[in-house]
Amino acid sequence: MRNTATSSWALFLQQMGHTMSKQTELSPHDFGAIGDGVALDTLALQTAIDTCGKGNGGQVTLRAGHTYLSGSLRLRPGVIIHLEAGSILLASDNYDDYAHHHLVGQVTKGVVAETVLPQRAFIVGYQAPGCGITGQGTLSGHGRGFIDSPGEHIHTMRAPRGGRFQYLERPYTVFLIDCDSAVFKDIHLDDPAFWAIRLTGCDNSVITGITLTSDMKIPNADGIDIDRCENVEISQCRITTADDCISIKSCAGTSIYGDTTNIRISDCVLETLSGAITIGTESAGLIANVTAQRCEVRNSHRGFAVRAREGGLIKNVVFRDSHLLTFAFSPVWWGHGEALHVTAFRWSEPEQLGEGNPERTLFGEIENVAFQNLTITTEAGALCWAQHRGLIRGVTFTNVKLSLVQHSPWPHRIDLRPNDVLPTVNRPHNAFDIFNSGGVTLSNVQVLWDQKSRDNYGEAIRSEESEVAISGLIVLPLA
């Protein structure tokens, strides 16, 4: 059984303490690295990692003042890549530098062979407990090098010549699989080409103190994606990226690793053109017991989102003690200014289904989501919408102060993506839009209308085919 009693950070330190005295510290320069950002240092870096991994683990230290250009690398058990302040580990933007034997399907010998997500990663790890990346240097995914043509609101990205659609080809910056007690601490992660950090089946792991920045027009450049993990802590991170900052998933192709449970997010500053914290979307399995607290969402397209799809159940989720500022932006990005978003749909009707996505015809379900002690300024309020009754059961809004102010030129629309059934509804926003939802409770809620834009909105609460209990609602003009 997975250990649920010990915090992941404490467990990591405990495990590391038993072996630290026997571990090795190496430099890639010991194996011929140049570190000038021009020469390809892949072999030197991988040799240092492998040498550490042959013992009891250890640290591969990248020196200050050097840029290490590299193709794909594989982490080993107990090996930490440590980036000194002023060092850069730079991913190659040449697809040929991503070795075939580092593809996810090859590394895992077919255990993880997803057909609907990429197989490449700049740094991949499999069954490497205690591995990670630390230090105050920079890990760069070189995302700008994968741009095919710049766009007004979103870039078009490139695939390798003769490759598949670019979405399936671009590399994760880091993808760890079945690596318990993984750690990411203090690094600056810059310019991901696809999801920046993905953990699948990595129990008792910690991501703390990292800063992550992305080109705000690169699609699919999620910050942190947690898939099929238990007991993960994400804290004190600052993430600015076009796609979701933090996304909690249970992907269809990784069901061997069980449920996604006991995820704790705290004290993060988030800015995005998608969702600041998103629970679901890829949610074929159970996602349960997720807590996000003391977070600040700045200038974002969508704030906190729970999106059940693909037949999975999302339950026992709490967002609390946070501040959010959201605005409407281009429809090329999912969301349209809503601060709080709860939806349950199936992604595709059977006749619309693409290849390799049978789970997308299944309905997602949501049970027990709580929004507590939130201060919000938003263009689009809060959304709670299911494809049919019975899919959403129990959503509470307690001590929520919601100020509605329109300051962007984009016309109102309700964005229910991802789904091909009812993607958008073109009508004015209400402060709370509730549709086909059961057990919705509003307690001590304030709705404050900006009078300059009040005529653009509908009602404080619009409820259709739903069960809603209201206690202590206050509606006032915004001072």
The answer on 191 and 59 residing in a single domain is yes
Mean per-residue pLDDT for 23-36? 95
The answer on 35 and 66 residing in a single domain is yes
* 312 part of a folded domain: yes
Q: Which of 196, 216, 243 is the last residue of a domain?
A: 243
The answer on 239 and 261 residing in a single domain is no
The answer on 456 and 373 residing in a single domain is yes
Q: What is the pLDDT of residue 355?
A: 72
* 179 part of a folded domain: yes
Q: What is the pLDDT of residue 136?
A: 98
Q: Which of 190, 218, 243 is the last residue of a domain?
A: 243
Mean per-residue pLDDT for 449-460? 97
Q: What is the pLDDT of residue 3?
A: 42
> Is the pLDDT score of 284 beyond 70?
yes
Which among 289, 365, 301, 305 has a CA at the least distance from the CA of 333? Answer: 301
> Is the pLDDT score of 8 beyond 60?
no
The answer on 356 and 212 residing in a single domain is no
Q: What is the pLDDT of residue 291?
A: 98
* 337 part of a folded domain: yes
The answer on 214 and 363 residing in a single domain is no
The answer on 276 and 385 residing in a single domain is yes
The answer on 261 and 128 residing in a single domain is no
Q: For 285-301, write each residue's pLDDT tens digit.
A: 999 999 999 999 999 99
pLDDT grade for 14, boundaries at 50, 70 and 90: low
* 3 part of a folded domain: no
Q: For 152-183, write each residue's pLDDT tens digit.
A: 999 999 999 999 999 999 999 999 999 999 99
The answer on 311 and 442 residing in a single domain is yes
| Whole-number average pLDDT of the chain | 94
Instruction: Provide the residue range defining the domain that includes 458.
Output: 257-479
* 151 part of a folded domain: yes
Q: Which of 198, 216, 243 is the last residue of a domain?
A: 243
Task: Quote the number of domains for the chain.
Answer: 2
Q: For 77-132, write each residue's pLDDT tens digit.
A: 999 999 999 999 999 999 999 999 999 999 999 999 888 899 999 999 999 999 99
* 446 part of a folded domain: yes
pLDDT grade for 1, boundaries at 50, 70 and 90: very low
Q: What is the pLDDT of residue 17?
A: 45
Q: What is the pLDDT of residue 56?
A: 85
Q: What is the pLDDT of residue 351?
A: 82
The answer on 237 and 268 residing in a single domain is no
The answer on 325 and 199 residing in a single domain is no
CB burial of 37-46 (b: ≥16 within 10 Å; e: otherwise) equals: eeebbbebbb
* 19 part of a folded domain: no
The answer on 284 and 152 residing in a single domain is no
* 261 part of a folded domain: yes
Q: What pairing do the DSSP bridges indicate for beta strands 246-250 and 132-135?
A: unpaired
Mean per-residue pLDDT for 227-241? 98
**Residue 234's CATH number:** 2.160.20.10
Q: What is the pLDDT of residue 11?
A: 52
